[in-house]
Amino acid sequence: MKTADFAYKLPEELIAQDPLPERSSSRLMLLNKNTGERKHRIFHDITQYLRPGDCLVINDTKVIPARLIGEREGTGGKVEVLLLKRQSDHVWETLVKPGKKARPGMRLSFGGGLLRAEVQEVVEEGNRLIRFEYEGIFEEILDQLGQMPLPPYITHTLQDKNRYQTVYAKYEGSAAAPTAGLHFTRELLEQIRQMGVQIAHVTLHVGLGTFRPVKVDDVEQHHMHTEFYRISTEAAACINQTKQNGGRVICVGTTSCRTIESAADAQGIVRPGEGDTSIFIYPGYSFKVLDCLITNFHLPESTLLMLVSALAGKENIMAAYEEAVLERYRFFSFGDAMFITDDICDESERA
């Protein structure tokens, strides 16, 4: 299977640079994963395609303001540090720009010395381990000095940093948002609950590896990044009970999908617990738990496009993307949504 098989042409103006004023007013493409049939709706219409007894799985990770702009002590040269993963209380794995000068022993300063740091080690893929020095609470300092680490294809400045968080974000640790969840409002989630749909919270801290391109020609040779996940006993029980009762498990976003598929045993039973996952889902993968998926439109030749192709078939997905371009859908993090499901009939059509 070739990476080039997942290429498509996207006009640059279709890359959404800003979130819409209303979260749930984005467009929604419905895609029948079995037949390839498609419909076009507005996101808040999602309630018409959910059923009592379904389980919606959401990722409650919270994006930290992980982008720090500072200077090298002694020279005053500008430096940008992106926090990737916390290794201990004071040590983080980071991405540093410019990287060539970020040698072990280099001292950094942020916010006029409010936060100081030292490069300790160069690790995998050129990332740096940095030890931070500060007085007080690191999270409070980061909230004061840090910026939201928006994806590289977004060039506009985000006016309200809460718009790069889901309304249910709780546990800090992500360098990128689980963007399929950005379409939900608290009111819409409550409406879904009132319908008799269960909502299971899982956590997967999203790394910047989600934006890294696949650089190998053969998909199976791609090295997937590792991310931390956690599933509570309650969430696992909710998902497993839904399957036993014949309901559908519907993941909000590829991160929720990767979480439950990583935590499931060979029989499709989701086990509670935590750990690191580097699961890579591409066509040929047999889903153990997931039935349907709410997701955004993904980058060409990306692992996320491969994941949705594994669920709905590459031909169905590429045809849907071609139609999305023709219909002027908005793409990527702040863009429109797709519901990959087994039935795109609404309530009136099923009656």
pLDDT tens digits along 215-236: 899 998 988 888 999 999 999 9
Is residue 263 left, alpha or beta, with left meaning phi > 0 and alpha meaning psi from -120 to 50? alpha
75 touches 167 (CB < 8 A): no
Convert the pLDDT of each residue in 278-294 to its tens digit: 999 999 999 999 999 99
pLDDT of residue 349: 76
On the question of pLDDT at 100 being above 80, the answer is yes
Q: Is the pLDDT of residue 350 over 70?
A: no
- For 196, phi then psi, to 5°, come to 95, 15
**Distance, CA of 337 to CA of 351 (rounded, Å):** 26
Quickly tell me which residue has 């990306």 as its tokens: 302
pLDDT band at 325 (very low <50, low <70, confident <90, very high): very high
> DSSP per residue over 243-267, as a string?
HHTT--EEEESHHHHHHHHHHB-TT
Instruction: Name the pairing type of β-strands 78-86 and 91-97.
Output: antiparallel
The DSSP H or E segment spanning 112 is none
Range of weakest confidence among 46-50, 72-76, 111-115, 260-264: 72-76
Q: What is the pLDDT of residue 15?
A: 97
Q: What percent of the chain clears pLDDT 70, i.e. is strictly above it?
A: 98
Query: Is residue 294 within 8 Å of residue 28, measured between CB atoms?
Result: no
Q: What is the pTM assigned to this prediction?
A: 0.92
C-alpha–C-alpha distance, residues 70 and 126, integer Å: 19
The answer to whether residues 271 and 202 touch, using CB atoms and an 8 Å cutoff, is no
Overall average pLDDT of the 14-27 stretch = 97
Please give the structure tokens belonging to residue 42: 């507005």
pLDDT at 209: 72
Q: What is the pLDDT of residues 35-91, one digit of tens each?
A: 999 999 999 999 999 999 999 999 999 999 999 999 999 888 999 999 988 888 899
Length of the chain: 351
DSSP secondary structure string for all residues of 38-95? EEEEEGGGGGGG--TT-EEEEE-EEE---EEEEEETTT--EEEEEEEEE-SSSEEEEE
* 8 A C-beta contact, residue 30 and residue 341: yes
**Integer Cα distance of 277 and 225 in angstroms:** 8
Quick check: 213 pLDDT over 90?
Answer: no
> For residue 98, what are the contacts with CB-CB under 8 A and spacing of at least 6?
79
CA 144 to CA 321: how far, in whole Å?
40
What's the whole-number mean pLDDT along residues 87-98?
A: 91
Nearest partner of 37 among 320, 290, 327, judged by Cα: 320
DSSP string covering 171-233: EEEESS--GGGGG--HHHHHHHHHTT-EEEEEEE---GGGGPPP-SSBGGG-----EEEEE-H
Pairing of strands 128-133, 27-32: unpaired
Instruction: Please report the pLDDT score of residue 351 as a whole number.
Output: 59
Identify the pLDDT of residue 112.
Answer: 92
Segment 131-157, tens digit of pLDDT = 999 999 999 999 999 998 888 899 998
